[in-house]
Structure 1
Amino acid sequence: MQCKQIGGLKHLSDLGLFVQRLLARSRLTEEEQHAIMALPTYEMEVRARQDFVPLGEETDYCCYIASGLVARVGQVKNGSRQTTALHIPGDMADLHSAVRPIGIGGLTALTDTLILRIPHAAVRTLGRDFPAIAEAFWRDCILDAAILMQWAVNLGRKDARSRLAHILCELAIRYGGGRGYPLLEFDLPMVQEQLGDAAALTSVHVNRSLKTLRQERLVTVRGGIVQIHDWQRLMQAGEFDPTYLVADTFPDRQKRLVFQ
């Protein structure tokens, strides 16, 4: 892993996707948006299948996904891993670590990935100086908690076909900008083993379930590309309700409880 500092006003666009994610739910002034994008960052290139935040490690920085695809993972004694969340560009994968530095699970790159490390001290100072930003960060962490809860239900109560359909629906909404409009074709450079880790399935079950979804003309996953053919029926197959992702993105629900 290589790491170099790239922070400051010269790189205001680096955190632009994260600011957009925050603005979907929170109201921030131009000054507050500028302050977020001016956070100091340290660039880290991570190769595919490489852990960059080991399980249980204490860190002094948050990890922003600039490009690539990242999994949050847990592990049992025999070495088997369970993916508990997927993080795409624009996500601050462990924003919560600014106040709870000991990692909740580990972070691993599923593809070659560019990470921007942001020191916890800078995040905390920003929250102190701009209370509305601290509120937006808190709301963003609640979104991650909502995703985790839905994944628990998905893995605990659905069959293989429904699990995969749900994961694909969630990613379609998130890649579409997280405001309720799915992206019907997107890159998903995950092999069947990695999809199995996300859905608690063997590679054989993943292969069979994806074949079933394709034969039903709902979705095709081939060569790292997802093509959704029937969005409504795919949602039905996954028992997917996007409310947990988009309920607070409508203009009348975007919040700002702190006023200065």
Structure 2
Amino acid sequence: MDILQTSILQPFVNRLTSRSILNDDERSALLRLPGQLKLVASHVDFVRPGEEIDHACFVVEGLVGRFGQNADGVRQITCLHIPGDMADLPSVVSPKSGWGLVSLTRTKVLRVPHAALRSIAAKHSGVAEAFWRDCVADGSIFSQWVVNVGRRDSLARLAHLFCEMAIRCEQAGVGDRNSFPLPITQSDLGDATGITSIHVNRTLKELRTRSIVNMRGGVVAVSDWERLVATGAFDAAYLLLDGPSPRISAAA
């Protein structure tokens, strides 16, 4: 049954306003978006590559991986989505999914109809602009993930991933750069960084031995943020979190 999810959708509004300026009417319209809550067990593909979908998935609780896979079913996680993320906002204009979404933990998603998202974008130019900018940020993150897998060694890959998730969790208010939740298995970390789970284990041990990071019980504790940043050659600019950009559309 469709329901109004004002409190549930507040983190999505917060995410959009971290990069875009929205007026009160636009914020209120976003909070009134209809949706259907769905509980997903851990490690279930709830959007499959090539599937035609009529909704976008907003992450309410849990951790979601976006992935692609080859003909043998071997997959590469290409982004992690935390609470507050609309994991597949681009599907609004491209309903045949070019990727899959998997729950990496027990997850709760709000399925927001494409029709409602298209309608609010048509009525509110500021919302359309915010959606556009959010998709640009999504593409920027994806590009950095390609660099991470293709051009960094295993230690730098994990360090860079931890830096990104620390900043994103801090921005979303679910942790900070000293400690943040990352309830992910070593196998899934391997799929996210392009290394084996055995190598992930060794690399985590190396980061712990160097007193940089300790990961235990689904929580990443950062012992030395500056060394973590240096190890991952991390520059947060690609996250596009310098504050809301001026509106292109007519002033509200």
TM-score of the pair, normalised by structure 2: 0.96
Name the structure 2 match of 1:258.
Answer: 249
Q: 1:89 aligns with which of 83, 90, 113?
A: 83
Q: How does 1:106-255 map to 2 (within 5 A)?
A: 106-177=100-171, 182-249=176-243, 254-255=245-246
1:121-153 Cα deviation digits (max 9, x unpaired): 110010110011000000000010000000000
How far does the alpha carbon of each residue in 1:51-82 deviate from its partner, in whole angstroms, 9 at most, with x for none? 10011101000100001000001111222111
Q: Tell me, yes or no, if the aligned pair for 2:137 and 2:240 is still in contact at 8 Å.
A: no
Corresponding residue SS for 1:86: strand
Specify the code of the residue in structure 2 equivalent to 1:43: L
Question: Is residue 84–residue 172 contact of structure 2 (8 Å, CA) maintained in 1?
Answer: no
Deviations 1:96-144 (A, max 9, x none): 1111101121000000000000110110010110011000000000010
**What code does the residue aligned with 2:43 have?**
R
| Alpha-carbon shift at residue 184 of structure 1 (Å) | 1.4
> What are the ranges of 5 or more consecutive residues in structure 2 without an aligned counterpart?
none
Aligned-partner Cα distance in 1 for 2:19–2:98: 24
Calculate percent identity across the aligned residue pairs.
47
Report how many aligned residue pairs link the two structures. 250
**Distance (whole Å) between structure 2 residues aligned to residue 188 and residue 173 of structure 1:** 12
Does the residue aligned with 1:255 lie in a helix, a strand or coil? coil
SS at match of 2:122: helix
Are the equivalent residues in 2 in contact too, given 1:219–1:229 (CA < 8 A)? yes
Shift of 1:178: 6.1
- Aligned AA for 1:255? P
Contact 2:177 2:225 (8 Å CA) reproduced: no
Q: 1:42 aligns with which of 21, 36, 44?
A: 36
2:34 aligned counterpart, secondary structure: coil
Q: CA deviation at 1:182?
A: 4.2
Deviation (angstroms), 1:216: 0.8
The one-letter amino acid of 1:184's match is N
Matched residue of 1:177: which SS?
A: helix
Counterpart code for 2:199: H
Match of 2:6 in 1: 12
The whole-number CA distance in structure 1 between the counterparts of 2:201 and 2:57 is: 32
Structure 2 letter corresponding to 1:232: E
In 2, distance between residues paired with 1:88 and 1:255?
A: 26
**1:189 Cα deviation from its structure 2 partner:** 1.1
Q: Which runs of 5+ in 1 are unaligned?
A: none
Question: Equivalents in 1 of 2:141, 2:63: separation in Å?
Answer: 16
1:61 aligned partner, one-letter code: H
| TM-aligned CA deviation for residue 31 of structure 1 | 1.0
Secondary structure in 2 matching 1:41: strand
The 1-side partners of 2:69 and 2:239 are apart by: 26
- Does structure 1 conserve the Cα–Cα contact (< 8 Å) formed by 2:56 and 2:114? yes
The match for 2:95 among 96, 101, 113 is 101
Q: Which runs of 4+ in 1 moved over 2 A?
A: none
Q: Is the 1:71–1:107 contact (alpha carbons within 8 Å) kept by the matching residues of 2?
A: yes
1:76 aligns with 2:62: no
